[in-house]
Amino acid sequence: MPSTIPLQDATVYGPIRSRRFGHSLGINVLPVSHKVCSSNCVYCQYGWTLPGGASTERLKRAPALLAEIAVAFARHAAAGTPVDCITLAGNGEPTLHPDLLELVVGIKRLRDRCFPSASVGILSDATQVAHPAVRQALAQCDARYLKFDAADEATWRRINQPLVAVEFQAMVAWLKTLPDIVLQSLFMQGSYDNTGEPHLRAWVAAVGEIRPRSVQVYTIDRGTAAPGILEVPRETLQAIADRLTASTGIPAEVFD
């Protein structure tokens, strides 16, 4: 397995040829010098989230970010860059940004001008869904992809290692209230494993209660923060996806 990848060094990056999203133009609303995240996932492709950050770089507010995004979008549109989706992700957890709603609305306005057929989505660890402002911003996105790697608090704390004060059951309760969401469930083996039978049984039940629009079942494909994590074979991922759909009727797609 290769090493972790560098942080994104700009507000707009890519497009990345994503196994899940096609040509994805990334939006990083966070600093470029260090991660700002509410989780410290053992499988993170960017490595560990360091307490307090690694620099004094300040968070850019919405007007400055939207100005940079407008310039980058115009450049890509003029070059004929293929863009299937515009994805808020980047160097950590985008829902931590205090201007998230303003950013989503502004990005959609710029999308309409430059890439009218592209969707605007967000990748989130779901730790902030209890906040009304975050739910408002999520509702403005065309697509909401929310992490759900663990079906119980002990497994969640071991794998996702939340860095904020949030209770697992409260987070799950809020996920149940969000309409038209896609859950992203990453499975792994080796030094950390969430593929055992008791956990899979609980995961299927929990996803069935949340009732997302669909679930993306996938595994690692880059280096990880913690050592010894192994990718899960595609046949195992497919068996997990098939089990979920057979039990709950919820569509599940495998990405490896």
Q: Which domains does the chain have, with CATH numbers?
A: 12-182 (3.20.20.70)
Query: Rounded mean pLDDT of 29-50?
Result: 95
pLDDT in tens, 93-128: 999 999 999 999 999 999 999 999 999 999 999 999
For the chain, percent of residues with pLDDT exceeding 90 = 91
- 18 close to 24: Cβ distance less than 8 angstroms: yes
Judge whether residue 145 has pLDDT over 60: yes
How many C-beta atoms lie closer than 10 Å to residue 57's C-beta? 13
Query: Rounded mean pLDDT of 176-188?
Result: 97
Judge whether residue 36 has pLDDT over 90: yes
For the chain, percent of residues with pLDDT exceeding 70 = 98
Q: How confident is the model at residue 50 (pLDDT cuts 50, 70, 90)?
A: confident
φ and ψ at residue 16, rounded to 5 degrees: -95, 135
What pLDDT does residue 21 have? 81
pLDDT in tens, 191-246: 999 999 999 999 999 999 999 999 999 999 999 999 999 999 999 999 999 999 99
Judge whether residue 54 has pLDDT over 80: no
Q: How confident is the model at residue 73 (pLDDT cuts 50, 70, 90)?
A: very high
Six-digit token string for 210: 């949340």
What pLDDT does residue 17 have? 86
Query: Which positions ≥6 away from 30 have C-beta within 8 Å?
Result: 36, 59, 90, 91, 92, 93, 94, 96, 97
Judge whether residue 57 has pLDDT over 70: yes
What pLDDT does residue 55 have? 66
